Chain A
Amino acid sequence: AQTVTQSQPEMSVQEAETVTLSCTYDTSENNYYLFWYKQPPSRQMILVIRQEAYKQQNATENRFSVNFQKAAKSFSLKISDSQLGDTAMYFCAFTPHNAGNMLTFGGGTRLMVKP
């Protein structure tokens, strides 16, 4: 079984600054996908960024980037130039390559961006 752990229940950051959200996972799989999802107050889950385990290069999407450390089973999300609209719950998620996209979610981190 896989587990995903987000050790920071809540975080805050000043607008325009950078914040890093932590995520660790435990699996015996070698090929898998990792995700960060954003859930704003509207509750709609939005994919922020995706990483394929066999790719060593860290994924980036505009202001969002990850630090993927496969050996350490760590997958942190860095948000640069934080904006007020980034305020949301952030969930780290994992799926093995052969699991048909069945996601296991971490407990979430509530991020507040302050003006």
Chain B
Amino acid sequence: GAVVSQHPSWVICKSGTSVKIECRSLDFQATTMFWYRQFPKQSLMLMATSNEGSKATYEQGVEKDKFLINHASLTLSTLTVTSAHPEDSSFYICSARVGRAGTGELFFGEGSRLTVL
């Protein structure tokens, strides 16, 4: 299947710093990518939908100024956690759609674990 890669897989940072997580589609072009957050032993919660060349659509309760999403190309979306705090520590997962909308085909990255000290 299609490959989606995230980097870094694990990052530790000090409180107050900003962290950027990259999501790349390696062998296909993704006009739409999704960012999820997963707390330990919990399900995935959709944070935002990232659309190439336009602003991301954020889910209710997700601070757009806190979680900056940039989808500058058809193969790359980035999530920047600004002024990170310990409560932002979580597992962040991206997914990308293959093909046209409505086909239901999604592939996921390996996830990025963020630990804020």
Q: Which residues of A contact B (CB under 8 A)?
A: 33, 35, 37, 42-47, 50, 52, 91, 95, 97-98, 100-108, 110
The digit string for B82-117, where 1 denotes a CB below 8 A from any CB of A, is: 000000000101010100011111111011010000
CA distance A42 to B108 in the complex (A): 13
A50 adjacent to B44 (CB under 8 Å)? no
- Spell out B's residues near A (CB within 8 Å): 1, 32, 34, 41-46, 49, 91, 93, 95, 97, 101-108, 110-111, 113
Q: A47-B1, A106-B43, A107-B43 are in contact. Are A101 and B104 (CB under 8 A)?
A: yes
* Contact partner, B110, options A37, A44, A98, Cβ 8 Å: A44
A52–B105 Cα distance when bound, in Å, is 11
CB distance from B23 to the nearest CB of A (A): 13
**Given the interface contacts A33-B104, A102-B34, does A42 sit within 8 Å of B97 by beta carbon?**
no
Question: Majority SS of interface residues in chain B?
Answer: strand
Task: Kindly list chain B residues whose C-beta atoms are within 8 Å of the C-beta of A35.
Answer: 104
Q: Enumerate 17 A-B pairs (CB-CB under 8 Å) in ascending A order.
A: A35-B104, A43-B91, A43-B110, A45-B44, A46-B108, A50-B104, A91-B43, A91-B44, A97-B104, A98-B101, A101-B97, A101-B102, A101-B106, A102-B49, A103-B46, A103-B106, A104-B46
* Cβ contact of A105, chosen from B41, B44, B113, cutoff 8 A: B44
Residues of A within 8 A of B44 (CB): 45, 91, 103, 105
B108 proximity list for chain A (CB < 8 A): 37, 44-46
- Chain A residue numbers with a CB within 8 Å of B95 are 45, 103
Closest CB in chain A relative to B83 CB, distance in Å: 26
Residues of chain A contacted by B43 (CB below 8 angstroms)? 91, 105-108
